[in-house]
Each structure stands twice: as C-alpha cells, then as structure tokens.
Amino acid sequence: MEPERCIACGLCAVYAPTIFDYDEEGIVLFAQDPSAHQQFIQKNQKEQVLSAYKKCPTRAILLEN
Ligand code: SF4
C-alpha cells in the first residue's frame, strides 16, 4: 500500500475489515502490522482485498502476485 496516496475515505476497511485499519487521522494501515507497507494475503482473504483494491479511489492499495 501507499498510505501517502490515501485520502482517508474509509472504504477499504468496509470491504476488508480484518486487513485494513486506520491511524488517528484516518490514513490506512494494516490491522495486524501497522508499521508495514506490504502484507502477505491469505487465500481466504483475497476476495475482500480485491474488493477493497477496486474501491480505493486513489489506488493507495496495490496488489502483487
Ligand atoms: S480506500 Fe483507499 S483512500 Fe480510502 S481509506 Fe482505504 S486506502 Fe485510503
């Protein structure tokens, strides 16, 4: 993810609440590891993350295979 692109819209945690969370300013971070900029996604979380990725208005969420 690229938190510097995040506009704190709050959508990603609606679609993937176990993956995304926010700092006190509403900027995205990983729920499990707030200081990380990358995270390995389990198979059973892929759909959620894909939805969040598609909905993010600023492309702050990036996917890599
Ligand atoms: S959907 Fe994108 S812009 Fe909105 S809070 Fe999440 S990362 Fe930030």
Give me the CATH number covering residue 21: 3.30.70.20
Q: Are 3 and 34 contacting, i.e. CB atoms less than 8 angstroms apart?
A: no
Distance CA 56, CA 29 (A): 13
CA of 35 from ligand 1 middle (Å) equals 16
- CA 5, distance to chain mean position in Å, is 12
Q: What is the pLDDT of residue 56?
A: 98
Instruction: Specify the DSSP class assigned to residue 25.
Output: T
Q: What residues flank ligand 1, with Cβ below 6 Å?
A: 6-12, 28, 55-58, 60-61
For the chain, the domain total comes to 1
Distance CA 43, CA 50 (A): 11
- Domain around 28: 3-55
Distance CA 41, CA 26 (A): 22
Residue bearing the CA closest to ligand 1, atom 8:
6
Q: How confident is the model at residue 37 (pLDDT cuts 50, 70, 90)?
A: very high
CA of 13 from ligand 1 middle (Å) equals 8
- Assess if residue 62 is contained within a domain: no
What is the average pLDDT across 34-48? 95
Mean of the per-residue pLDDT values for the chain? 97
User: Percent of the chain, pLDDT > 90?
Assistant: 98
Asked whether residue 44 carries a pLDDT value surpassing 90, the answer given is yes
Q: What is the pLDDT of residue 65?
A: 85
